[in-house]
Copies of this chain bind each other. A is one copy, B any other.
Amino acid sequence: MSELLYIIPAICLLALGFTLWQSNWIVKQPAGDDRMQKIAGYVAKGAVSFLKAEYKVLAIFCGLAVIALAVLNAVEGEGNYLIILSFLTGAILSASAGYRGMRIATKANVRTAEAAKTSLARALDISFAGGTVMGISVAALGILGLSVLFLVYLSLYGDPANGGIARVLHVLAGFSLGAESIALFARVGGGIFTKAADVGADLVGKVEAGIPEDDPRNPAVIADNVGDNVGDVAGMGADLFGSYVATVIAAMVLGAGLSTDTTGVFGGLEGVVLPLFLAALGLVFSIAGSFLVKIKENGRVQRALNTGNIGSIVLTAIASYFLITALLPSRFEQGGHVYGPLQVFGAVVVGLAVGALVSLITEYYTSMNRGPVKRIVSQSTTTATNILGGLSTGMISTAAPVFVLAVGIIASFALAGLYGVAIAAAGMMATTGMQLAIDAFGPIADNAGGIAEMSGLPKEVRERTDVLDAVGNTTAAVGKGFAIASAALTSLALFAAFMESAGLVQIDISNAKVLAGLLIGAMIPFLFSALAIAAVGRAANAMVEEVRRQFKTIKGLLEGKPGVEPDYDTCIQISTRAAIRGMIVPGAIAIVIPVVVGFTPGLGAEVLGGLLAGVTVSGVLMAIFQSNAGGAWDNAKKSFEKGVQINGQTYYKGSEPHKAAVVGDTVGDPFKDTSGPSMNILIKLMSIVAVTVATAIASGA
């Protein structure tokens, strides 16, 4: 094996150094007055205490998982105990990525608010620096863990006498299993926390008591701001960490199936290492792109972010051409077909095109000035029609992305077989560092706005943070499009990896059992979403009751009497308990079902394959449906801020149609931030679990 591989961890370490430099710079910025620091302190403390509670549960889960993996290994008798090391490394790095992101976010938020006192450009600098620390950390930790473990395992097992590359990748897959497990729990737990607080705060505060968002009199308001950090930052960090790793591993596994010339630099493993190099390339250009995100005072924030984002994508795409042609042999075989480097590069381009198109479609269905959101607004004369408008928009918005995905799958498969599909996904995810930086800066800006409001800072501060927040909403929607598209392609690649490990040559849906598996699989995303939404609904109800109770029993609170403070802690605890309780069953479903189906006599690998196909298609649809419905409702509500025309009359905030739109937005909250984004992780995690147990199933069958 060539020493060239050491470049990859080296790049990761340099990238981590860059994040340290950035976070030092953030910490050095002025952190505002006492009141601001006090509030920011509440938020940071709440976030840390939630993550501690969450990680305690996750530690127990990891313990159980380690036992299960040990049993599985004992059954298999292949002695692949290092999969446990991979699992734990993946889990710990994923949790660390989330924690680190949350820590820097809770420092950047108050400093962004302080900077917004004087300058939009500086506020963007700080909030985006916070996002960058998060994004680059996630990507660097992911690739660092993967590449180091890969090098270690390669030196142990790489020799064909030791099981060769197949064994290396089997053991390495545990890394993704650990990362995706944590991602699922963190996404669902964080999602429940944030939406229970958000929905609860809005329902009593804005709707009933008539006090503005983020008003310090509202007892749920700190929980709401904590939620932004544990859900939208830490949850999303773990989510993208898992997605990123799963995509790279899936491509590596399929790369092992390429039959190439063993005299190359990497002794025939060119297809396996390509995804790692591609990721490293994307990391470098994500850092480069982050320097492009600058505005002049009162410049256009969206344009700056687009420049950074598109810059890093285009640079990565161009560089990948040279990487692929240099790395891959001029011809190689897969499944009886012969491919060349150009086809693989073509697959990268297909992946980027699919991601871009799905993002554009997402933007169309969720942004404020387009037909779909305008139609929801015009249907807001009553609450029921607003709700029906949002639901139907979400459902209809599945059509175009699914069509693009289907074409993308067929095209990338035609170019370079299943490896092509996996590489398309890997290309799409290569600039995860930048994607996540753009995603994570939104909640930081949102938090900064909350702190500004609660500290009673002048109106223009909030206006500046609102500009950043609004841009953040759009980029978040676009990021979701990317995430869904890549998850679909990755699942397909994992599906193929599963078949290979299980020794299946086909999965025939005309087999009654496989069809039954397909049906059960397709049901799981519905069940999973229901559990997540129900948890939010219950917790939000409890929050509403608690806030009402405080308004009733704490004298002078609602009147804003000086010195009277609400009991923020109880609200944080309600969200925490709901999140911890609510994440366990959905998480267990995702992990246990594939194992049960796979090992039940009479079912087995082919039925499990049907189940995975069902989960994947239905999960993709439910992801798009829920995310876009939620996004569209959100922006339908926001449209009222500038006034909207319905049947010739103009309505503003506070009007009846606006109230209807607020209800729609509240319904959409758990859709777009709890259940919707969990779908991506669900479909990948179930596939990875299946990959992990595939050989054991095959040997037992």
Residue positions of A touching B, CB distance < 8 A:
199, 203, 207, 378-379, 381-385, 387-389, 391-396, 398-399, 402-403, 405-407, 409-410, 413, 418, 421, 488, 492, 495-496, 499, 504, 506-510, 512-513, 515-520, 522-523, 526-527, 529-531, 533-534, 536-538, 540-541, 544-545, 609-610, 613-614, 617-618, 620-621, 625, 647, 663, 666-667, 670
Contact = CB atoms under 8 A, between A and B. Distances in A.
Nearest to A199: B384
Given A509-B613, A613-B515, A617-B614, A663 B398 contact: no
22 contacts: A379-B538, A381-B541, A382-B666, A392-B537, A394-B530, A395-B530, A396-B526, A396-B527, A396-B531, A402-B523, A403-B523, A406-B516, A406-B519, A407-B516, A409-B515, A495-B510, A507-B508, A507-B510, A509-B610, A518-B613, A518-B617, A522-B522
Contacts of A418: 512
A518 B495 CA distance: 14
A102 B178 CA distance: 60
Nearest to A499: B510
Contact of A384 (B382, B392, B614, B667): B667
The secondary structure that dominates the A interface is helix
Contacts of A513: 410, 413
Contact of A383 (B383, B496, B670): B383
A407 B603 CA distance: 12
A385 B530 contact: no
Given A508-B508, A523-B621, A534 B389 contact: yes
Given A199-B384, A617-B519, A512 B530 contact: no
A617 B399 contact: no
Contacts of A382: 203, 207, 541, 544, 663, 666
Contacts of A534: 388-389, 392-393, 396
Contacts of A402: 519-520, 522-523
B621 A398 contact: no
B512 A413 contact: yes
A539 B494 CA distance: 45
A533 B617 contact: no
Contacts of A203: 382, 384-385
A113 B395 CA distance: 41
A530 B617 contact: no
A655 to B, nearest CB: 15
A58 to B, nearest CB: 25
A527 B399 contact: yes
Contacts of A409: 512, 515-516, 519
List the 8 closest pairs (A to B, CB-CB), nearest first. Answer: A395-B530, A413-B512, A384-B666, A396-B530, A406-B516, A388-B537, A392-B534, A402-B523
B670 A529 contact: no
Nearest to A504: B510
A506 B507 CA distance: 9
A368 B594 CA distance: 35
Contact of A617 (B499, B522, B625): B522
A395 B526 contact: yes
B609 A510 contact: yes
Contact of A391 (B492, B531, B533): B533
A392 B381 CA distance: 25
A533 B667 contact: no
A495 B515 CA distance: 11
Nearest to A611: B406
Contacts of A398: 523, 526-527
A673 to B, nearest CB: 13
Contacts of A663: 382-384, 387, 663
Contacts of A610: 509
A591 to B, nearest CB: 17
Contact of A520 (B406, B508, B545): B406
Contacts of A519: 402, 405-406, 409, 488, 617, 620
Contact of A496 (B393, B510, B520, B647): B510
Nearest to A607: B410
A686 B318 CA distance: 44
B421 A536 contact: no
Contacts of A613: 509, 515, 518
Contacts of A413: 512-513
A430 B406 CA distance: 40
A566 B296 CA distance: 62
Given A395-B526, A409-B516, A418-B512, 19 more contacts: A207-B382, A385-B544, A387-B387, A388-B667, A392-B533, A396-B531, A396-B534, A398-B526, A402-B519, A409-B512, A413-B513, A506-B508, A507-B508, A508-B508, A509-B509, A510-B609, A519-B620, A522-B617, A526-B621
Contacts of A207: 382
A395 B675 CA distance: 12
A395 B533 contact: yes
Contacts of A527: 395-396, 398-399
Nearest to A620: B519
Contacts of A617: 518-519, 522, 614, 617-618
Contact of A388 (B381, B396, B536, B621): B536
A203 B387 CA distance: 13
Given A207-B382, A492-B515, A670 B540 contact: no
Contacts of A512: 409-410, 413, 418, 421, 492
Nearest to A517: B406
A392 B527 CA distance: 8
A508 to B, nearest CB: 4
Contacts of A495: 510, 515
Contacts of A507: 508-510
Contacts of A517: 406
